[in-house]
Amino acid sequence: MVLSFRKVVQSLLASALLAGALVPGLSASAQDENVLRVQTEVEIATLDPNIATDGTSMEAIASLQEGLMTRNQDGEFVEAAAESYEVSEDGTVYTFKLREDAVWSNGSPVTAHDFVFSWQRLADPATAAEYSFILDTAGVKNAAKVTAGEVDKSELGIVAVDDYTLEVTLEIATPYFLSLMAFSPLFPVNQEFFESTNGQFATSPETIISNGAFILSSYTPAGATTELTKNESYYDLENVALDGLRFQVIKDSQQAVLAYQTDQLDITNISGEQVALFSADPEFRSVEQGYMWFISPNQLNENIANADLRLAIGKAYDREVIANNVLKDGSMPAAYFVPQLLSAGPDGTDYRDAAGRDLLSSNAEEAQAHLEAAKEALGVDSFTLSLLVEDTEASINVAQSLEAQIEATLPGVDIQIEQTPKKNRLDRMREGNFDLGLTRWGPDYADPTTYLQLLITDSSYNDARYSNEEFDAGYEAIQTGDLVLDEEARFEKMIELEKLALSEGAVLPVYQAASAVLVKGNVDGIGFYTTGTPRIFKYAVKQ
């Protein structure tokens, strides 16, 4: 298989060289000498920091803007828009002193008022920001009440003491608070500029300003190409070596490899047979990710609301086949929901080691028993279910394997794959317009609650519409209740909650992702991370 694929690559590469270009509008040129050319599998849906929900959009936003904190070259969280900060003795009040040399790309100073406006906009129910929950996750005072519309956004626990002093008050000490200050939903937004865009904020180079390493030079929402250039007004310009960034959407991995080999890309994802082909190449890298891919079973569907049917599906496919035979990029089969190497317990044990890895295992006999129970309870003999997936090569390949395995294991179950662009998939899942959805979640911070919060009844990301009073009560206890300050009891409760949810088929895990990439030998300094923004390009260098 590898040899035949190599011949295909060589043949197509020769044809591409003769044709002179592989992707419309994309070609190598002298102007690209110090521009990092990045392949993405999906479009950049939005550049609005309060609205973006996907990793690709957040990578672009993190190149344009920065928050109170950021990551340095070693991946450590350090001050960014903030020059320094102080924390009260009880850990509930943070006072940030903002650097006075930070300006927006239009020359306006970056002030504490920009953070107040952004956070209040994020929390405002009128904004309908899906990431509004992150304020409550961070522990910000009154965040839950503001997002629920119970109190005015002015009651949110953030105050501009003066232009360069920002005070944030928390409900309770939050150990991962500072790391969230580097997360794009909490980046600043300049109110005067925002209002001047008349509802078109961040939809074009003319309707966005930057306080980060780059500025936007070319962009269309959900377009194929997004271009950034160095921000000459950036306070830390001496640490920005690149002249610019170009994000190029290429969904077909074979086409992406060909573009890479003809010097039209500097970094690209690869998958499947390509991994075997390039694994010995010095430009190959396998990058572990915190992303969990899973099937979200929509309980608005009266059949899927039956736990036996959900469990039948969740036990009907072999996760090792998908990870090792379909993806072949280092991804790991996962019968769990919280990824490994995310966080550790009080004694230093990795959460995944403590909780176990076999919470919803593949078992054909058990799957068939659950199916018979579902048929009896629902009074039907067969089920036709759609599986909604985004139109990327990897997602389609995984979906086809799931379809084949589920139908082979479960007589009377017909899976119909629906392919659609990622933005449409996300929109449909938020609206509840699907049966089964192949989706993913990446950790925003290093704590299991970054996954468990998806399953509380009122979570804006609870696409499965799972609801369990015991789960909700347990989650409240570990976040704001009796277990907050009892580290060991909190750790054990999180394990208990994950097991409870999977025992009911709240979600059906498939695999923990890794990313197989090719990076040009003259490129260095790209930061790859398992929490927060997946990749940071500020410190990248092209030799």
Same domain, 76 and 130: yes
Written as one string, the DSSP assignment of 178-200 is HHHTTSGGGS---HHHHHHTTT-
In a domain, 68, yes or no: yes
Question: What φ, ψ does residue 176 adopt, rounded to 5°?
Answer: -105, 20
Residues 436 and 394 in one domain: yes
Using alpha carbons, select from 536, 505, 541, 500 the residue that is nearest to residue 522.
541
Does residue 333 sit within a domain? Answer: yes
Give the CATH number of the domain where residue 195 resides.
Answer: 3.90.76.10
Burial environment of residue 224 by CB neighbours within 10 A (0 to 12, 13 to 18, 19 or more) = middle
pLDDT at 27: 57
Sign of the Cα torsion 489, 495, 496, 501 reads positive
Most confident of 283-292, 432-441, 529-538: 432-441
Q: Are 537 and 526 in contact (CB under 8 A)?
A: yes
Can you give the pLDDT at residue 5?
A: 43
DSSP state of 132: G
Please state whether beta strands 541-542 and 523-524 pair in parallel, antiparallel, or not at all (unpaired).
Answer: antiparallel
* CB distance 71 to 78 below 8 Å: yes
CATH code: domain of residue 434: 3.10.105.10
Helix (H, G, I), strand (E, B) or coil at 227: strand
- pLDDT surpassing 90 at residue 362: yes
> How far is the C-alpha of 317 from the C-alpha of 313, rounded, in Å?
7
Position 384 in a domain: yes
What element of type H or E holds 137? Answer: helix 133-137
Do 204 and 165 belong to one domain?
yes
pLDDT of residue 25: 53
524 and 477 within one domain: no
Q: Which whole number is the average pLDDT over 128-150? A: 96
Whether residues 449 and 536 fall in one domain: no
SS3 249: strand
Q: Are residues 222 and 323 in the same domain?
A: no
Task: Locate 512 and state its tokens.
Answer: 């923990």
Average pLDDT over residues 333-343: 95
Same domain, 335 and 397: yes
275-296 per-position pLDDT tens digit: 889 999 999 999 988 899 999 9
The boundaries of the domain holding residue 72 are 55-241+520-542
Question: Could you give the angle at the alpha carbon of 402 between the alpha carbons of 401 and 407, nearest 5°?
Answer: 105
Asked if residue 116 has pLDDT above 50, the reply is yes
3-state secondary structure of 15: helix
Alpha-carbon torsion (295, 299, 301, 306), positive or negative: positive
DSSP character string of 195-206: HHTTT-TTSSGG
**pLDDT of 40 higher than 50:** yes
* Domain count along the chain: 2
Is residue 122, in this structure, part of any structural domain at all?
Answer: yes
Q: Supply the pLDDT for residue 21.
A: 47
Pairing mode, if any, of strands 225-230 and 436-441? unpaired
pLDDT tens for each residue of 63-103: 999 999 999 999 999 999 999 999 999 999 999 999 999 99
Q: Across residues 249-265, what is the average pLDDT?
A: 95
In a domain, 19, yes or no: no
pLDDT recorded at residue 163: 99
The pLDDT of 3-27, averaged and rounded, is: 48
Residues 437 and 532 in one domain: no
For residue 3, the tally of other CB atoms under 10 A from its CB is 8
Tell whether 258 is covered by a domain: no
Domain assignment present for 492: yes
